[in-house]
Amino acid sequence: MQRRHIWFILIATLAALGMVRLGVWQLSRLGERRAFNATLRSRLDSGVVRPEALPTDTALVRYRRVRLDGVYDAEHEMQLTARSRNGSPGVFLVTPLRRPGRDTAILVVRGWVYSPNAKDVADLARWRSGAVANVAGFADTYPIGNPGTVLEPGKARAIRRLDLGELAKSLPYPIAPYYVMLLRDPAAAIDSTAPVAFVKPAVDDDGPHKSYAIQWFSFALISVIGTIAFVRSDVRKARA
């Protein structure tokens, strides 16, 4: 066997091992995704609880269903900009909810409203269903370490993202370390006088990781078979 064949086999082997490693990594990601989705499914299918019954660890709060009652603070309502729905531009309406006998408010993402520039809605009063609220949704936590400006320049009470620290500074009272996204019945008709609330997040067990793993293993196999075929063919030609 010629020296160039040895080098060719060595390089192809290293490439195949790298592809196998990537395939194993995708299978690991698949396992993590399935574990996360199992947790997500169990929380979304669990019973509806009051905020007081939520775990104190915010990592355990995500996607748990919760029921809120209290009074919406329309004066401090915010618009979360650049949110689309079915390809249409809009904003999410985020309203603090004050609960009786408690100083801490909970921010409620009430739903999506159409906005031509995806930055603000001219008539917010149109989308207010009343001050008193008795609503249900699922809890989510504020992202950590998300850089960038929170406030939308030149827009009153318009924000680009949900940031616990920055939002707490803009409100005259403390807020909970989680927010709630209102849920709606996907089979029910959409009320044109209210923001479009959210449906329960879909749970996809596998995602793309399984197919990616199969692809990497296939590439590794092709690399090995192709190398063997090339070397054998080259050796036969040399002998001839």
Interacting residues of 47 by C-beta distance below 8 A, sequence separation 6+ = 65
Give domain status of residue 81, yes or no.
yes
Q: pLDDT grade, residue 148 (50/70/90)?
A: low
Same domain, 171 and 72: yes
| Total number of domains in the chain | 2
Same domain, 68 and 29: no
| φ and ψ at residue 213, rounded to 5 degrees | -60, -45
Q: For the whole model, what pTM was predicted?
A: 0.77
Q: Using one digit for the tens of pLDDT, what is the confidence trace for 196-229? A: 999 887 777 777 898 999 999 999 999 888 888 8
Cα separation of 162 and 62, whole Å? Answer: 15
Q: pLDDT grade, residue 1 (50/70/90)?
A: low
CA-based radius of gyration for the chain: 27
Q: pLDDT grade, residue 67 (50/70/90)?
A: very high
Domain span at residue 122 reads 64-182
Same domain, 171 and 231: no
Q: Which of 41-55, 107-121, 145-159 has the lowest mean pLDDT?
A: 145-159
Same domain, 69 and 178: yes
Q: pLDDT grade, residue 76 (50/70/90)?
A: very high
Give the residue-averaged pLDDT of 82-96. Answer: 93
Same domain, 28 and 125: no
pLDDT (0 to 100) of residue 147: 63
Cα separation of 29 and 59, whole Å? Answer: 20
Name which of 158, 133, 194 is nearest 83 in CA terms: 158
Same domain, 171 and 78: yes
In the predicted structure, residue 167 carries a pLDDT above the cut 60: yes
pLDDT (0 to 100) of residue 146: 66
Q: And the tokens for 233?
A: 């063919």
The rounded mean pLDDT for the chain is: 87
Q: Using one digit for the tens of pLDDT, what is the confidence trace for 96-131? A: 999 998 999 999 999 999 999 888 887 888 888 788
Same domain, 103 and 168: yes
Give domain status of residue 87, yes or no.
yes
In the predicted structure, residue 240 carries a pLDDT above the cut 70: no
Share of the chain above pLDDT 90, in %: 43
Cα separation of 14 and 184, whole Å? Answer: 53
In the predicted structure, residue 48 carries a pLDDT above the cut 60: yes
- Give the β-pairing of 88-98 and 132-141: unpaired
